[in-house]
Amino acid sequence: MDGLTYKKAGVDIDEGDRFINLISPLAKKTFRPEVITDIGSFNALFQPDIKKYKQPVLVSGTDGVGTKLKIAFMMDKHDTVGIDLVAMCVNDILTSGAEPLFFLDYFATGKLKSEKAAEVIKGIAEGCRQAGCSLIGGETAEMPGFYPEGEYDLAGFAVGVVDKDKIINGSAINVGDVLIGLASSGLHSNGYSLARKLFFDIKKMDASAYIPELGTSIGEELLKPTKIYVRAFNSIRDKIKVKGMAHITGGGISGNLPRIFPEGVSAVINERSWCPPPIFHIIKEMGNVPLDDMRMTFNMGIGYIIAISEAETKNAISILNAAGVDSFVIGNIEKGGHGVRYA
């Protein structure tokens, strides 16, 4: 009997090295001038240009993609979930007005397949490009027996910076302020346990099934990447006084918007002010999902909300639309309470 080796136990170090060689060019394309290490080091070094800031404050966030990964496995399509990973992290730190600086990922799988994993990193690099940040490092974990064959998990970590006197935290929100909604691309990265249960367990649909109302297959629709809102914010950063921003993820508008409210105010949302993508109507009708459940599970077509004064509304909408961002006045701030009321 031949002796036991690490490779026979399920971990192929040579494959790991090959993977690093495949992804290094992808990561390097995202490098900002502040990156001063190469891929493959024990750590990653980033030297920020602190002269740009009077009182720089670092802002960090971490997240994953959740069960949306199951759709990638079904479709054997892996080049977009990395965008989702970056979006979930950078959209969160953006709510403070932070400029995303760098990103790190964690990729774990039972058996490393370099080409498939490189497709995932390709998506992460694209997300970093959209966000204007650098993919400076990460961890690839090969864990035989821990994940089902062909599956993997993803997590990410983003760091940004903002001047202390420019931090956006919602404290300036007042009664009468207007809420601008930025369109989502669809489900983004939340509500997939419900969607998968409906389409694939209850309705027994194939991921490749074409849905006329969507103009694509259900699998392709569910894999649409989460929008990254950095460029949208950058378009108004120095032109509009932004008082608060909310990333609409799990919990929907009802669960996320109140997180930025000061005491004594709430929001009224006009759901007729925008047209949600068809996927939300399909889920509601096909699954007979109660409206309150839809609101608390999905973004309902609004991926980000910006609070500004009423006087700046027209200018903000004009700038955002000119920047290619579909935006709508979806509500306003009213006195009392602390939640969201739909009208």
User: What does the pLDDT look like over 70-115, one tens digit per residue?
Assistant: 999 999 999 999 999 999 999 999 999 999 999 999 999 999 999 9
Looking at the fold, whether 42 and 161 belong to one and the same domain comes out as yes
Give the tokens for residue 216.
């694509």
Identify the domain containing residue 274 by its residue range.
Answer: 178-342
Mean pLDDT of 167-172: 97
Domain co-membership, 162 together with 291: no
- 231 and 303 both lie in a single domain: yes
Residue 190 sits in the same domain as residue 146: no
pLDDT more than 90, % of the chain: 89
List the 134-142 sheet strands across, edge first: 56-64, 152-163, 99-109, 134-142
Query: Which amino acid makes up residue 220?
Result: E
Amino acid type, 208: S
**Residue 6 domain flag:** no
Spatial separation of the C-alpha atoms in residues 91 and 106, rounded to whole Å: 18
1 assigned to some structural domain:
no
Calculate mean pLDDT across residues 177-189: 98
User: Which of the four pLDDT bands, split at 50, 70 and 90, describes residue 1?
Assistant: low
Residue 88 within a domain: yes
Q: What type of residue is 252?
A: G
pLDDT computed for residue 12 by the predictor: 85
Q: Which residue has the tokens 């990638």?
A: 72
203 lies in the same domain as 143: no
The reply to whether 173 falls in a domain is no
Q: Are residues 257 and 141 in the same domain?
A: no
List Cβ neighbours of 148 (8 Å cut-off, separation of 6 or more). 110
The answer as to whether 5 is a domain residue is no
- CATH number at 118 reads 3.30.1330.10
The predicted-structure confidence for 143-153, as pLDDT tens digits, reads as follows 999 999 899 99
Question: Can you give the CATH number for the domain in which 247 is found?
Answer: 3.90.650.10
Contact 265, 333 (CB under 8 A): yes
Q: Does residue 204 share a domain with residue 90?
A: no
Average pLDDT over residues 230-242: 97
Are 146 and 194 in the same domain?
no
**With helix as H, strand as E and coil as C, how does the chain read?**
CCCCCCCCCCCCHHHHHHHHHHHHHHHHCCCCCCECCCCCCCCCCECCCHHHCCCEEEEEEEEECHHHHHHHHHHCCCCCHHHHHHHHHHHHHHCCCCEEEEEEEEEEECCCCHHHHHHHHHHHHHHHHHHCCEEEEEEEEECCCCCCCCCEEEEEEEEEEEEHHHCCCCCCCCCCCEEEEEECCCCCCCCHHHHHHHHHHHCCCCCCCEECCCCEEHHHHHCCCCCCCHHHHHHHCCCCCCCEEEECCCCHHHHHHHHHCCCCEEEEECHHHCCCCHHHHHHHHHHCCCHHHHHHHCCCCEEEEEEECHHHHHHHHHHHHHCCCCEEEEEEEEECCCCEEEC
Mean pLDDT of 199-224: 96
* Residue 3 resides in a domain: no
Is there a domain that residue 185 lies in?
Answer: yes
Residue labelled with tokens 């070094």: 45
- Tens digits of residue pLDDT in 7-47: 888 888 888 888 888 999 999 999 999 999 888 888 999 99
Looking at residue 340, its pLDDT comes to: 97
Q: What is the mean pLDDT of residues 110-128?
A: 96
Q: Compute the average pLDDT of residues 157-184.
A: 97
- Asked if residue 2 has pLDDT above 80, the reply is no
* Domain tally, the chain: 2
- For 258-292, the pLDDT digits (tens) are 999 999 999 999 999 999 999 999 999 999 999 99
